[in-house]
Amino acid sequence: MADNGLIDKVHDLSDLELAVLLCLISREHCLISTPDSAMDDLVLELQLIATKTFGLEWAVIDCSPSTTLEDFASSLLSTSPPLPPSDPTINAGGPSYFSQHGSLRPLGGTTPSSSPQIANFVLARHLDRAPHAVQIQALELLRTRRLFTRTTVQVAPKQFVFVPVLAAATGGQARVTPHLNDFLAMAHWHDPGHGFVNTEEQGAQDLDHDDDAASTGSIVKTVRAERHPTAPALISKDDIICLRERGQRVQVDIDVVRYQMNVVSFLRMHRAVDHGITPAATKHFGQLMRNLAPLHRLDFVTPALVGLAARKVYLHRIRITDPRKERSMQWGSRLEAVEALLHDVGPEEVLDEVMTMVTAPV
């Protein structure tokens, strides 16, 4: 199994950090939501997670009904930090031949360090409010890992995570356009009551630095996230590769596979579920339950991991049917009775009911 030191670091991660880690391991993308009042805190927390925990450059796209394709494309790009200046003592002995005749420049006119590139970690705030064309452009970016602009073609980096950050009062309410929604492997609803670990730690560090300069009165300091990593990442790229390889070697017993397929079947046939369950969701389901095993120091999938993966994969995919379209209405059920049955039923309640009905293997 993976190194115990690495697993210990993983166990110290917050729920948001674990969601990003699973995206990096599986090379997939995640939808994250929270109440509207905590949106700014959530975006800041994810920015700090990108730079401090995983050493990734981030970009934020603020979407609205007036967002254009050009706005979307330009917000994705980030410029790498400039290279550090050369040591001035090198030329202390006098001007060199190269300083007299100009510096050498690479062919193409621009240096790689200054050319805009797609950021490793992209946060699309309120993507559900963007026009349909913008959301389809996001889907094409995730499918092809390329962004076509009027002048160039930008290629997404190998480590690339796209996270729509949406406002939702409870889990399962946040979703984007159907095809993009189904392409997102998992979803997570963050309760603000659980806190924002990195934001709080950064605020405490900034406050400690200001203590020496504080005299009277109060100091109000806003926590900010650096766009580029300034320190070694807590979880390195090699750590992610190690966990990915371990997940690919995880064994799944036939009884666990049967349990997984029973969960899928019960979800498809549930009377409250509209539009069924897609094959892409089943693929993400199997992938996630395998990638969860190494994080628990296991080389096989347990029924508990199947249940955990189901709650993350289907949270944003389950759509509650309209009472008029509920299956039993075809056989003479009363509309009032169906409305009462479906009252206050959401994706989380459907998942709880299905996991209770399906018998787990012993």
What DSSP line would sit under 238-271, residue for residue? Answer: HHHHHHHHHHHT-B--HHHHHHHHHHHHHHHH-T
Please say whether the beta carbons of 350 and 267 come within 8 A: yes
SS3 (DSSP) at 218: coil
For the chain of 362 residues, list the mean pLDDT of each consecutive stretch of 10.
82 96 97 96 96 95 95 83 46 45 42 72 97 96 91 91 96 94 97 93 73 47 70 92 96 97 95 92 97 96 97 96 89 90 92 95 87
Token pair, residue 149, equals 């602009």
The pair of structure tokens assigned to 93 is 């002995």
DSSP assignment letter at 300: B
DSSP per-residue codes, 68-115: -HHHHHHHHEEEPPPPPPPPGGGGTT---HHHHS-----TTSS-TTTS
What count of other Cβ atoms lies within 10 Å of the Cβ of residue 300?
A: 12
Amino acid residing at 337: A
Residue 13's pLDDT is: 96
Output the CA–CA distances (angstroms, integers) from residue 190 to 36, 128, 247, in the order listed: 11, 17, 25
Domains in the chain with CATH codes:
1-79+116-199+233-249 (3.40.50.300), 251-361 (1.10.8)
Q: Residue 322's pLDDT is what?
A: 92
Q: Which residue has the tokens 């934001």?
A: 199
Q: Report phi then psi at 207, rounded to 5.
A: -70, -40
Share of the chain residues as helix, strand and coil, in percent rounded to the nearest 5:
50, 10, 40
Specify the pTM. Answer: 0.85
The pLDDT of residue 362 is 81
CA–CA separation, 189 and 173 (whole Å): 9
